[in-house]
Amino acid sequence: MHALLGQLPVGLSIGAVLLLVALGLNFTFGQMGVVNMAHGEFLMAGAYTAFVLQAWFGAQSVLVGLPVAFVVVGLMGLALERGLIRHFYGRPLDTLLLTWGVSLILQQVARDVFGAPNVDVAAPGWLAGGVDAAGVRLHYSRLFILALAVLCVLAVGWYLARSRTGRQMRAVTQNRQLAACSGIDTARVDQITFFIGSGVAGVAGVALTLIGPIGPTLGSTYIVDAFLVVVVGGLGQLRGAVLAAAVLGLLNAYAEFWSDASLAKVVVFAVIIAFLQVRPQGLFVLRSRALT
């Protein structure tokens, strides 16, 4: 019984990672509908930002890296949107190929700059160790990721619901043409959306350095999971993404507990496929009164 209960924090911790990597996609894919295959490489760029900062800040590079990676990776996303993606709006297949190409380029750049082998980013001393609960050891680093995920969700939720640009973002998502007719500079909103979405991916990347070593292919490990969370949660739905990440994380933990890691993956994918058969629109959908 204790062992069963012990899987709960493990699952939530996996869910927190899933949520963090998916949160940025909630902007670029969820709000704007852009399939950005380079999102995984933005995670990787965030992770390497922390790695680079290590030269100056040592073990505190993770903490310093969170805001720095947000800006650095955010600017990368902005450059991608301005330079390439905006010329392909309304052409999802072309965007998919394009961003996949960008993702390969970024991987190779990382290989050339940082080398192919994985590298370590030292965690701050105060994140070493953990607490024992219900027979399972909870690492402080995992708890830190959980707290970071909660913080990020609250920040993003506040931003979308309350801030001026967040409101404009939702307006553009719901009716782009009407947004322009209301005086909103939609191109500027697109830029801000992409900056924030990519920046959040950078933050998630820094968090990933706490889980294990990082390498040029870090992104490809998480890209599928990130898209799954957004699709299962419902496009652009923050609470959907939170719920989906938690459920998928728990499912993963328990399936792994009863079988093994690879079988757990199979179980998770099977459940997702079955779920999307029943509810292709995801957990949450935008509802409104149908207009005649």
Partner 1 sequence: MLRVEGLTAGYGRAQVLFGIDLEVPAGAVVSVMGRNGVGKTTLLNTVMGVLPATGGRVLFDGADITRRGTHARVRGRIGYVPQGHGTFPQLTVEENLLVAWEATGRRDPGGVAAALGVFPRLRELLKRRAGFLSGGQQQQLAIARALVTDPRLLVLDEPTEGIQPSIVAEIEEAITTLHQNRGLTVLLVEQYLDIALRLADAFTVIDRGSVVRQGGRAELRDGEIQRLLAI
Q: How far is the CB of 145 from partner 1 (least distance, A)?
A: 31
Q: Is residue 285 close enough to count as binding partner 1 by CB under 8 A?
A: no
Q: How far is the CB of 32 from partner 1 (least distance, A)?
A: 15
Q: Is residue 289 close enough to count as binding partner 1 by CB under 8 A?
A: yes
Which of 215, 216, 171, 235 has the alpha carbon at shortest distance from 22?
235
Backbone angles phi, psi at 132, to 5 degrees: -95, 125
Q: How far is the CB of 25 from partner 1 (least distance, A)?
A: 20
Q: Which is nearer to partner 1, 277 or 292 (CB)?
A: 292
Sign (positive/negative) of CA torsion 84, 85, 91, 97?
positive
Running DSSP on this structure, what letter comes out for residue 21? H
Q: Is residue 118 close enough to count as binding partner 1 by CB under 8 A?
A: no
Backbone angles phi, psi at 240, to 5 degrees: -60, -45
One of 118, 175, 259, 281 touching partner 1 (CB under 8 A): 175
Q: Which is nearer to partner 1, 2 or 287 (CB)?
A: 287
In this structure, which amino acid lies at residue 204? Answer: A
Distance of alpha carbon 34 from the chain centroid? 14
Q: Is residue 177 close enough to count as binding partner 1 by CB under 8 A?
A: yes
Q: Which is nearer to partner 1, 137 or 188 (CB)?
A: 188
Q: Which is nearer to partner 1, 112 or 185 (CB)?
A: 185
Q: Which is nearer to partner 1, 76 or 156 (CB)?
A: 156
With b for 16 or more beta-carbon neighbours within 10 A and e for fewer, the 240-271 pattern comes to bbbbbbbbbbbbbbbbbeeeeeeebeebbeee
Q: How far is the CB of 23 from partner 1 (least distance, A)?
A: 20
Contacts with partner 1 in 154-173 (CB under 8 A)? Answer: 164, 167-168, 170-171
Sign (positive/negative) of CA torsion 149, 153, 156, 162?
negative
Q: How far is the CB of 76 from partner 1 (least distance, A)?
A: 26
* Strand positions, DSSP E, the chain: 130-133, 136-139
* Cβ contact 78:28 at 8 Å: no
Q: Is residue 292 close enough to count as binding partner 1 by CB under 8 A?
A: yes
With b for 16 or more beta-carbon neighbours within 10 A and e for fewer, the 196-225 pattern comes to bbbbbbbbbbbbbbbeeebbbebbbbbbeb
Q: How far is the CB of 183 from partner 1 (least distance, A)?
A: 4
Q: Which is nearer to partner 1, 79 or 178 (CB)?
A: 178
Q: Which is nearer to partner 1, 278 or 291 (CB)?
A: 291
Q: Which is nearer to partner 1, 9 or 166 (CB)?
A: 166
Q: How far is the CB of 170 from partner 1 (least distance, A)?
A: 6
Q: How far is the CB of 80 from partner 1 (least distance, A)?
A: 22
Which of 114, 113, 109, 94 has the alpha carbon at shortest distance from 37?
94
Q: Is residue 184 close enough to count as binding partner 1 by CB under 8 A?
A: yes
Backbone angles phi, psi at 101, to 5 degrees: -60, -45
Q: Is residue 191 close enough to count as binding partner 1 by CB under 8 A?
A: no
In this structure, which amino acid lies at residue 239? Answer: R
- Site residues, partner 1 (CB under 8 A): 164, 167-168, 170-171, 174-175, 177-187, 286-289, 291-292
